[in-house]
Structure 1
Amino acid sequence: MAYNIKNSKELASLINYTNLNNMITESEMVEFLEKAKECNFNSVVVSPTYVTLAKETLKDTNIKVGSVIGFPLGFEDTNGKVAEAKSLLDKGVDEFEVVINLSHLKDENYKLLENEIKQIKETIGDKILKVIIETKALEDYQKANAAKAAEKGGADVVKTATGFLSPSHIFEHVNDINIIQKYAPTVKIEISGGITQYKFANQILTGGADKISSDHGYEIVKRYKDLRENTQVKPKPITL
């Protein structure tokens, strides 16, 4: 069984097109954003440096602008992360991605994790809060506890990776999905890391993910279009 994607428009709506390259130039970012407009992704995810540019470039589209807090290590203190969230909110960000403090998780200080997530959620109000838990660095029980802390703190989405550490096999991703669904059933699940081809994206969606994060979103959608929508056939007329 495969996820039943009807067309490239639906596929793009399931992808958060990501570019968190810390050395990208403004002209390269404009090129990235123009590709996003061409495909009409659910969102783009860019660094705080380029949020204003993204908002301006995408203002006549339905594409949401996402950005990151405590990225990529998550070890900033809570006040610092809250200040980052406030700054991004002022810039008009729609979706906020915060990396959890893995030291707190490893020390089983779940209240600290919950409190941090709660404060950030209170800061951004009804905007989407995603909590990145970096599953590749965690044991399964730690993934479960991280997901529970995210849900209790009021997160909308649990995201599995920053992209710096990523599960590489579909079975790892499906295992992560199963754990999050079981222990944090009210949150959405976004899978990140190593998704460069349509086939892999389809497997992850079939496995239960709500969204995919990929810096190869454009290539995935274009490849799908080539396979499914650009076939040209001229039938011969039927003669009786």
Structure 2
Amino acid sequence: MVIYNIKNSKELASYINYTNLNNMITEKEMTEFLEKAKELNFNSVVIAPTYVPLAKEILKDTDIKVGSVVGFPLGFENTESKVCDAKSLIDAGADEIEVVLNLSYLKDEKYDLLEKELAAIREAVGDKILKVIIETKALEDYQKANAAKLAENCNADYVKTATGFVSPNHIYENVNDINIFLKHAPKIKIEIYGGVNEYKFANQILTAGADKIGSDMGYEIVKRYKDLRENTQVTPKPITLTKKD
């Protein structure tokens, strides 16, 4: 296991997918959000499908990836709808697609239907990044393991823990989820979402084995770290090694 020692704010931002899925956000507010993402150069932004073209335009001169969601937040749309939405997002310029797993199928152990759905979405996404959101807080451990294994078998790039509506809110819950994924789906990457709002928590998550962190507090996490580690200026007083008379 890697013990993370973040060297600077740029490295920290590279592990964070800065998220804003507010369904009532205005274009002006989204523009401000994207400019903040641009300022700190996050790994990606995760936004509503409506704003993918805007994000591609604002972030065109950066290496920040644009991610969006399919079947969000409940995941119970039919497969054809999810495939159509995924294709539409790719056509709009999205670099990453996050699809919410159908939890009804998972709990009913309809693994064949889940595998068919994920395989169809994988094909629609092509060489872009595919993440499968499985809402771990709502699942038993064996269900988490089965979901992650299904995602891995369908060549998804990431398994993601939550939509943010029902999220693990304690480090021990997150570490338990990470351990399950590492054991039962060791080839798939892991993204933790929900409740990560400070550097210390982010560092613990990465140390536990996560590859990325999704957070709507990404800007605050990196900015606070930057202010503490890089913007602290202390001018020492001059000293003398001779005794005063």
| Equivalent AA in structure 2 for residue 36 of structure 1 | A
CA–CA distance in structure 1, aligned partners of residues 231 and 164 of structure 2 = 32
1:138 alignment partner in structure 2: 139
2:109 alignment partner in structure 1: 108
Which range is displaced more, 193-202 or 30-39?
A: 193-202
2:128 alignment partner in structure 1: 127
| SS of match in other structure, 1:182 | helix
| SS of match in other structure, 1:209 | coil
CA–CA distance in structure 2, aligned partners of residues 174 and 97 of structure 1 = 22
Count of residue correspondences: 240
1:31 alignment partner in structure 2: 32
CA–CA distance in structure 1, aligned partners of residues 172 and 61 of structure 2 = 39
- After TM superposition, what 4+ stretches of structure 1 lie above 6 angstroms from structure 2? none
| SS of match in other structure, 1:158 | strand
TM-score normalised according to structure 2 size: 0.95
TM-score normalised according to structure 1 size: 0.97
Consecutive unaligned residues of structure 2, counting only runs of 5 or more, are none
Change (3 A) 1:154 1:2: closer
- The answer to whether the aligner puts 1:165 opposite 2:184 as a matched pair is no
Alpha-carbon deviations, 1:186-217, whole Å to 9, x = none? 10000000111111111111111100000000
| SS of match in other structure, 1:55 | helix
Alpha-carbon deviations, 1:38-76, whole Å to 9, x = none? 000000000001001000010011100000000000000
Identity rate, percent: 77
CA–CA distance in structure 1, aligned partners of residues 20 and 201 of structure 2 = 19
1:20 alignment partner in structure 2: 21
CA–CA distance in structure 2, aligned partners of residues 5 and 144 of structure 1 = 30
CA–CA distance in structure 1, aligned partners of residues 18 and 31 of structure 2 = 14
1:9 alignment partner in structure 2: 10
| Equivalent AA in structure 2 for residue 180 of structure 1 | F
1:175 alignment partner in structure 2: 176
| Equivalent AA in structure 1 for residue 41 of structure 2 | N
Consecutive unaligned residues of structure 1, counting only runs of 5 or more, are none
Deviation for aligned residue 1:238: 6.6
Q: Max radius of gyration: which structure?
A: 2
Within 5 Å, give how 1:66-85 maps onto structure 2.
66-85=67-86
CA–CA distance in structure 2, aligned partners of residues 73 and 109 of structure 1 = 17
CA–CA distance in structure 1, aligned partners of residues 41 and 171 of structure 2 = 26
